[in-house]
Amino acid sequence: MALVEQCVPRKQSPGTTLLAAEVYSIDSPRHGVLCMNKPRMIVGIKWVPNTQAVRFDPKTGTLIREGVPSIVNPHDLDAVELALKIRERYGGEIIAITMAPPPAEEGLRHIIGMGVDRAILVSDRAFAGSDTLATSYTLAKAIEKIGKFDIVLFGQETIDSSTAHIPAQVASWLDLPYIYYVESIEEVELEKNKIVVKRKLEDRYEWYEVELPVIIGVAMHSNPPRPISLTSKLRAVTEKPIEVWTNKQLELDPRCIGLKGSPTIVSKVTWQPEIPRKRKIYKGDPREAVKWLIKQLEDERVLP
């Protein structure tokens, strides 16, 4: 019950006005209170075209993107799930943030449906055409505007571009420590201002103790997401927990955002040249087919 006593009414806390020295977190808005010593988490989300549904038009030589549904990047759902697990264990608040055109609100409703407390859609035509430097800059500035936070979680990479740049770049803009490939957060010790995370590399597990706040890349397939709950999803309608921030709110220099703020540009797009292959195909009885195959592989001298 001690935790309840530490809570103060939420209306006293616009967040950003609190002293930086205060370690605090806002409990779920459902509880309407601000609590000390509970982690405040931000989860970065990307609204991506479902690459599995993208088809190719051989006549026009272009990708058919029309009618391709967009989804929340599946690897981000692992990050949402990990944040939800932390909230279950330690309390606290989870805020989702995405930089995307307005239709991405649908994705944020999905995340709210999983149980995230509130969401911010950073959306402005001025942000269009951003590369990873400009995207991470805009996200970092939006995260700063949220106020104090303890942990920022991103999916390790996205299915559409899979660069894995954003977590490190946001960490660089915010001058914060960062850890990639995190599978779990083993301990949260807000009073000591640190957490312990476990990550997996090719040949080993590593445990790190990290100072807060920290930026985390959550390993792919590490935290299978829970299903959406209808009660949570209804909140998206009744409580309107999704805010839209344009560049009017963020007031970023136009030279630092969108196309202008992107050092890299796409200069042209061509076909991926194919590797020439022999394309010999056998149809028929499996035994004969295998005999044929073994003969070919022996001729190629590739069998051990």
Q: Which is nearer to other proteins, 19 or 302 (CB)?
A: 302
- List Cα–Cα distances, 250 to 66, 132, 212, in angstroms: 32, 18, 24
Which of the ranges 1-9, 82-90, 238-246, 281-289 carries the binding residues for other proteins, by CB under 8 A? 281-289
Q: Which of 123, 138, 169, 247 binds other proteins (CB under 8 A)?
A: 169
What does the alpha-carbon distance between residue 5 and residue 225 come to, in Å, rounded to a whole number? Answer: 32
What is the footprint of other proteins within residues 83-142 (CB under 8 A)?
131-133, 136-137
Rg, C-alpha atoms of the chain: 23
Q: Which of 60, 231, 238, 267 binds other proteins (CB under 8 A)?
A: 267
What does the alpha-carbon distance between residue 99 and residue 113 come to, in Å, rounded to a whole number? Answer: 19
Tell me which DSSP letter residue 30 carries.
G
Question: Residue 97: CB partners within 8 Å, gap ≥ 6?
Answer: 42, 43, 44, 45, 119, 120, 122, 139, 142, 143, 146
**Helix (H), strand (E) at residue 302:** none
Asked whether position 173 contacts other proteins by CB under 8 A, the answer is yes
The least CB distance from residue 132 to other proteins, in Å, is 7
CA of residue 255 relative to chain centroid, distance:
25
The least CB distance from residue 131 to other proteins, in Å, is 7
Question: Residue 85: CB partners within 8 Å, gap ≥ 6?
Answer: 185, 223
Asked whether position 59 contacts other proteins by CB under 8 A, the answer is no
> What does residue 153 show for φ and ψ, rounded to 5 degrees?
-115, 135
Q: Which of 210, 216, 218, 236 binds other proteins (CB under 8 A)?
A: 210
What binding mask, one character per residue, do residues 184-203 give for other proteins by CB under 8 A, x or -?
------------x----xxx
The least CB distance from residue 152 to other proteins, in Å, is 14
Q: Which of 56, 66, 238, 240 binds other proteins (CB under 8 A)?
A: 56
Q: Which of 127, 180, 216, 242 binds other proteins (CB under 8 A)?
A: 180
Tell me which DSSP letter residue 55 carries.
E
Asked whether position 163 contacts other proteins by CB under 8 A, the answer is yes
Tell me which DSSP letter residue 15 carries.
S
Asked whether position 225 contacts other proteins by CB under 8 A, the answer is no
Asked whether position 250 contacts other proteins by CB under 8 A, the answer is no
Closest CA to 212 of 196, 227, 200: 196
Q: Which is nearer to other proteins, 238 or 264 (CB)?
A: 264
Residue 29, amino acid: P
What does the alpha-carbon distance between residue 15 and residue 91 come to, in Å, rounded to a whole number? Answer: 17
The least CB distance from residue 169 to other proteins, in Å, is 4
The least CB distance from residue 157 to other proteins, in Å, is 7
Q: Which is nearer to other proteins, 4 or 294 (CB)?
A: 294
Q: Which is nearer to other proteins, 16 or 163 (CB)?
A: 163
Asked whether position 54 contacts other proteins by CB under 8 A, the answer is yes
